[in-house]
Amino acid sequence: MNDALYTRRRMVNNAMFALTAVCAAVASGTLLAILGYIAWQGASSLSWDFLTNLPKPLGEEGGGIANSIVGSAKVVGLAGLMAAPVGVLGGVYLAEYGRGRYAFAVRYAADVMNGVPSIVVGLFGYALIVQPMKRFSALSGSVALAIIMVPIVLRNTEEFLRLVPGTIREAALALGVPRWKVTLFVILPTAGRGILTGALLALARVAGETAPLIFTAFGNRFWDNGWLNPIATLPHTIFTYAISPYQDWHNQAWAAALILMIFVLLVNVTARVWLRPSSGTSH
C-alpha cells in the first residue's frame, strides 16, 4: 500500500467535503439571513393595530395594512381558483393522453412560460383586461397571477401523474374500468397529494409576486370594493412603501414584508409536511 498516495487522497477528500459543506451552509444561510434581517427590522413596527387598521393619511404616523392582507387573500385566492383547474386538467392531458406534436408544443410552451419575466405578464394583464375595461381591478391582478401559476401547476401535475406506476393503471384497466374512470378515480387520487402540494407551492410563489400587480391590481389605500376596483396587495404595498421617502413607511414596509414571509413560509411548510410519505402514496 502506498501510504503517501493514500494520505494525499484523504486530504483531497476532506477538502472537497469541506467545500461542499460550506456551499450548503451559504445556500441555507441566505434564507436564515433574510428571515432574520426582516424579522429584526419588521418586528418593531408589528402590532395588532398594524394588522387591523387601514393606512393613515400621509403625514400622520401609524396606520396599518389590513386592506393589503385582505386584498392579497382575494387576488391570490381568485388566481388559484382560475389556475388550478386549468393546470390540473392540462397536466392530466399531458400525462395520460399527451403524445405527439401537440403535447410537445404544450409542454414546451409551459416551460417557456415559466421563464417569462413576471413584469411582462403584468403588462399582458394590463393589455388584456385593464385597457379594455378602462380600469385597474382585482380581477386583472388575479388573471396576471393565474397566468404565472398555470404552467407551474400543469408541469407539476404531469410529473406527479407520471410517478404513478404503470402497473396501477393496468390493474384498473384490467378490471374492465373505462379509461376516464381509471384516470379520475384511480390515478388522480394516487397522485393527489403531490398535485395539491404543487398547487399550494405555486400559490405561495405568486403570493409574493409584485411586478404583475403594478399595472393590474394597482394598489389602494382604502378598502376595496368588489372585484372590479383597484385593490391593495401585500407585495405591492411593500413596494410602494419601500420606495417612498418616509421613514414611517419604510418601517411599515419591513413589517409587511415580515407578514408576507411568514405567510409564504407557513404555506411552504404545510405543503411539504403534507407531501411527506406516509402509508402508500410514495415509494
Partner 1 sequence: MDMMRPMPLPRMKEESEPQDAGAPIAMSVRDLRAGYGGAPVLNGVNLEIREKTVTAIIGPSGCGKSTLIRCLNRMHESIPGATCDGEILLGGRSALELDPVLLRREVGMVFQRPNPFPTMSISQNVAAGLVLNGVRDRALIAETVEKSLRRAALWDEVKDKLDAPGVGLSGGQQQRLCIARALAVEPRVLLLDEPCSALDPIATGRIEELLLQIKDQLTVVIVTHNMQQAARVSEYTVFMLMGEMVEYGLTRKMFTQPADKRTEDYITGRFG
Interface residue list for partner 1 (CB under 8 A): 99, 165, 167-168, 170-179, 181-182, 185-186, 189-190, 192, 279-281
Q: State the minimum distance, in angstroms, from the CB of residue 172 to partner 1.
A: 7
Looking at beta carbons only, is 104 or 185 nearer to partner 1? Answer: 185
Q: State the minimum distance, in angstroms, from the CB of residue 25 to partner 1.
A: 37
Within 10 Å of residue 102's Cβ, how many Cβ atoms? 11
Q: State the minimum distance, in angstroms, from the CB of residue 99 to partner 1.
A: 7
Q: State the minimum distance, in angstroms, from the CB of residue 201 to partner 1.
A: 21
In three-state form (DSSP H/G/I as H, E/B as E, the rest C), the secondary structure along the chain is: CCHHHHHHHHHHHHHHHHHHHHHHHHHHHHHHHHHHHHHHHHHHHCCHHHHHCCECCCCCCCECCHHHHHHHHHHHHHHHHHHHHHHHHHHHHHHHHCCHHHHHHHHHHHHHHHHCCHHHHHHHHHHHHHHHHCCCCHHHHHHHHHHHHHHHHHHHHHHHHHHCCHHHHHHHHCCCCCHHHHHHHHHHHHHHHHHHHHHHHHHHHHHCCCHHHHCCCECCCCCCCCCCCCECCHHHHHHHHHCCCCHHHHHHHHHHHHHHHHHHHHHHHHHHHHHCCCCCCCC
Q: State the minimum distance, in angstroms, from the CB of residue 158 to partner 1.
A: 17
Looking at beta carbons only, is 41 or 281 nearer to partner 1? Answer: 281
Q: State the minimum distance, in angstroms, from the CB of residue 87 to partner 1.
A: 21
Looking at beta carbons only, is 20 or 279 nearer to partner 1? Answer: 279
Question: Which phi and psi (to 5°) does residue 207 adopt?
Answer: -60, -25
Looking at beta carbons only, is 183 or 220 nearer to partner 1? Answer: 183
Looking at beta carbons only, is 161 or 211 nearer to partner 1? Answer: 161
Phi-psi region at 176: left, alpha or beta (left = phi > 0; alpha = psi -120 to 50): left
Q: State the minimum distance, in angstroms, from the CB of residue 122 to partner 1.
A: 40
Looking at beta carbons only, is 43 or 175 nearer to partner 1? Answer: 175
Looking at beta carbons only, is 96 or 224 nearer to partner 1? Answer: 96
